Amino acid sequence: MPFPFRAVLFDFDGTLADSYDAITASVNHVRTHRDLKPLHEREVRTLVGHGLLQLMADVVPGSDPEANAALYREHHPSVMFELTRLLPDVLDVLQQLHAQGVRLGVCSNKPVAITRKLIAALAIDAYIPLDAAFGPEDAQNPKPDPGMAFAAMKRLGVSVGETLFVGDMTIDIHTARAAGVNVWVLPTGSSDLHALQHAGPDRIMLRMAEMLEANNEPRPSGSGSF
């Protein structure tokens, strides 16, 4: 059965890629610079997804988020390629969607320059064009503001009704709702299953491969199906 949407907008961290070790390494670089003890990956994971400035405010409270973000950006290239890997099923799903002519993009609160470099390094730029990866810099505000989703749909040449948003956080659900598009989520990132269920997505998948199952059918946005 053909995929029921013409385009899919993916979140990046926790949806397409496990980048938490890399993010934690750079967070702890900043914390060490500020004479703070390192955090464990499981602590950092719960704070990811709201944009770099918010992450810096959360992990180094009482310090200048802009200055700390600069330290983070300076350090991150030294770890992000080695410590970021695609999540299970992602490559196969991207290949199959692309083969069906589905247009693919990314909407992430990660700095967009980093996202695009990782898309290229992970060799998925054959399926997700780099100019279809969007971040807060492209929309003036981070998710849940729907600006980057609208920018991505414009770039891909698709309408709201033709678009699916796929993420791993409640913020992705709120973004999709604000943009008026269907949203499917996975508990593979920063939000747990209970939080995702409570936020009422159109579908919860336990693994990315479920995107390709034959019973995929468009659903009215807000149906909250599992």
Q: Catalytic residue numbers?
A: 11
- What Cα–Cα distance (Å) separates residue 130 from each residue in 4, 19, 21, 49? 24, 18, 23, 20
H or E element at residue 163: strand 163-167
Of the candidates 168, 143, 153, the residue with the CA atom closest to the CA atom of residue 90: 168
* SS3 category, 159: coil
The answer for residues whose C-beta is within 8 angstroms of residue 123's C-beta and 6 or more apart is none
7 in Cβ contact with 103 (< 8 Å): yes
